[in-house]
Each structure stands twice: as structure tokens, then as C-alpha cells.
Amino acid sequence: MQPDSTGTLDRAADAAGRLVADGAFLGSTTEQWLQAAAAAAGGVALLWVLRRLTERRLAHLAEQTETVADDFAIELVRGIRPSLFVFVALVGIDAFIAFPSPANEAVRIVKILALVLQGFAWTNVIVAFWLGQWSRNNPQQSDRTTIAALGFGVRLALWVLLVLLALQNYGVNITTLITGLGVGGIAIALAVQNVLGDLFAALSIVLDKPFLVGDYVVVDQLEGTVEKVGLKTTRIRSLSGEQIVFSNADLLKSRIRNYAGIMGRRFLVQTTVTLGTDAGRLSVVPDIFRKAVEGQPYVTFQRSHLVGSTLAGHEFETAFVVVHPEYLVAMDARQAILLRVYSALEREGIVLAAPATALQPKRGTA
């Protein structure tokens, strides 16, 4: 054992001697180290100057344009972190210094780590800028909780990708790691599938926009105004005042009627006049409806016809469209039209038929 130990020490001493022999350090001369230091300092200084000049130039350009591309470029430039300066310095040193195997591996690891840290910084910049633009373009859907969760999910996915790329460059076999993460992800997804279903449904609502906060919607037999779209539930205020809470996944499975984007409402009015009305008076009823409809703003007349006669009386059917998104405006127009029709019918001596009622015999009578 003693000769082997002595030989190992001698070889280590010889290696150390070679490292510092002839004025060299880590296998490179003093001149090479000075050149490497100058290259590192020059690279860092050049990057700093380019960053300052580019930022000023882009800021001046952004004031003169309304596009978001220059704003995004400014954020990327401002997102440069010290880790990128470290990477540039190491690249400058590596251009002149041939490190021995252990030191060369350490330098490579530090460079990869610096790039990963800079990648984290740019990931935060990209996600924050995208979410900020989305919030400004969709103020009604800008729920802070949903946006924060969406941003965290996107960041987490990009960070995991960067870490896996870094591990692969470090020589780690990531195939087994990815397989393990996949199996673990499936197990977690099965355990919390209801929660994940609501989360993905919330993401679908935010991105697809089947409705917005403030829209009046009808879900199956329930209706009201959307108050909030959360991560798990959507809350709707009904006409009677109570708050209706829907699971996001169940909500998207239902049939949703959104009245916020409606451009017009079509009304079909059934009118019955008494059987004793003569043909001359019956012929003026469609014209009465046409004049009543054409006298209202936002209303388009479609048709008015005598469609038949029953024991209750002569039946007329009139159709018109109110071209206005507000429900109250449409109802006001419908009311005004009916009032004008009733007044005109009264002037013409046309009597509306009473609704037919079924006479039920009293108990004990034949």
C-alpha cells in the first residue's frame, strides 16, 4: 500500500508542477491570461453599451409608434441580467484559454447555468408582457386570480423545459426523468381530475370568450348576469337577486345563450279579433300593424297576415325585428307598437276576441 500511495502523490505533484511550469497557470501563459481578461472585459463592456444604446433607441421609437413590437423589444433588452454578462465573460476567456479537463467542465457548467438563469429572466418578461397586453385588450375578463394562475402555469412549463435542456447538456439522461414525471403526472391528474377539469375549463372560458363579465346569459333554465369567472367556478347574479355558482366544467357542458352580443330581437305577435268582424275591416288589420311598426325607431317590419279563423275568432300573425342590443329598448318598442295597434283597432271599431276558456261543470250537476 505504501508504494502505491507514494506514486499517487508523486503524480499529483508532477501535474501541479506542469500547471505552473514556465510561468503558466492552468496550462496557459500569463500573456494568454491577459488576452483572455481583455476579451472578457471587452465583451462585457460591449454588451453593456449595446444594451444602453438599444434601450434608448427603442424607447425613442416606441414613443412615435403604436405597435407593441417595439415595446416587447424594450422589455427583452431590459430583461438582460448579470448572468448574461457572466456568460459573455466566460466565452471571452474560453477563446484564449485551453482549460484542463476538470476546469473546462466547471466552466462549461457555469456557462450553462448562466444561460438558464437568463432564460428564466426572459421567460418572466415574455409571460408578464403577454398577460399585460391581454389584460389591456380584455378588461372585462381580467380577473387577477385567473391571470395569475395562467401566468404561473406558462412560466412553470417554460422553466421545466429550460431545466430539462440544462440537465441534458450536463450529461444527465433525462429520458428516465421524463418517464417518471409522466407517470407521476398521470397519477396526480387522476387524483384531482375534477379540479383540473375546472381549471382547464376556466382557461377555455378566458381564451375562447363564450361570455364576458357583465354579459346576460341563460344556462338551461337559469339566467342572470355574469359577475366573476374564477379558477373553479363562475358566478352569475340572477334577476331575483341570488347568486348562482356554476362549476366551470359543468358550465361549458351546458347550452349557453348569450344575449350580450345580440344585434336584434324578432317578435311574433298573435292577434285574434271577433268572428263578427266583416271582411272590409279585417283587410285593414295588417296595414294597422305595418304603420305602427314603421313609426318606431330601431324596428323593421317583416309581415302581417290573416292566418286563419277558429271558434275564438279571426287570427292574425305579425312579425317585426327590433335592431338594438338592449333588451329594455326592444320591450319598450314592442309595447309602443301594441299600444298604437290597440288604439287604431278601437278607432276602426275592431274588437279583440276574448280568450277561450273551458267551462268545467260543477259537482253534483248533470
Mean of the pLDDT values across residues 109-137? 81
- All three cell numbers of 246, joined, read 356554476
pLDDT at residue 18 tops 60? no
Between CA 175 and CA 168 the distance in angstroms is 9
pLDDT tops 50 at residue 364? no
**pLDDT value at 292 more than 90:** yes
Q: What's the predicted TM-score (pTM) here?
A: 0.46
Nearest to 352 by CA among 256, 253, 285: 285
Q: Is 43 within 8 Å of 92 (Cβ atoms)? A: yes
Residues in the chain: 366
pLDDT value of position 345: 93
Calculate what percentage of the chain has a pLDDT beyond 70: 78
Q: How confident is the model at residue 260 (pLDDT cuts 50, 70, 90)?
A: confident
Q: Which amino acid is at 161?
A: L
Comparing 95-104, 113-122, 171-180, 236-245, which segment has the lowest mean pLDDT? 171-180
Higher pLDDT, 281 or 195: 281
Amino acid code (one letter) for 92:
G
> Does 145 or 22 have the greater pLDDT score?
145
Q: What is the pLDDT of residue 185?
A: 66
Predicted pLDDT at 192: 59
Distance separating alpha carbons of residues 10 and 12, to the nearest angstrom: 5
Note whether 202-258 and 265-348 share their fold.
no
Q: Which residues contact 40 (CB under 8 A, 6 or more apart)?
A: 88, 89, 90, 92, 93
Q: Which stretch, 1-5, 346-350, 351-355, has highest mean pLDDT?
A: 346-350
CATH assignment of 265-348, given 3.40.190.10, 3.65.10.10, 3.50.50.60, 3.30.70.100? Answer: 3.30.70.100
**Every domain of the chain and the residues it spans:** 22-180, 202-258, 265-348
- Options 2.30.30.60, 3.40.1130.10, 3.40.190.10, 3.90.1150.10; CATH for 202-258 is 2.30.30.60
pLDDT tens sequence across 294-337: 988 889 999 999 999 998 899 999 999 998 877 788 899 999 99
Range of lowest pLDDT (12-16, 132-136, 305-309): 12-16
Separation in Å, CA 63 to CA 79, 147, 311, 346: 20, 28, 76, 68
Average of per-residue pLDDT across 240-250: 87
pLDDT at 227 over 90: no
Q: How confident is the model at residue 287 (pLDDT cuts 50, 70, 90)?
A: very high
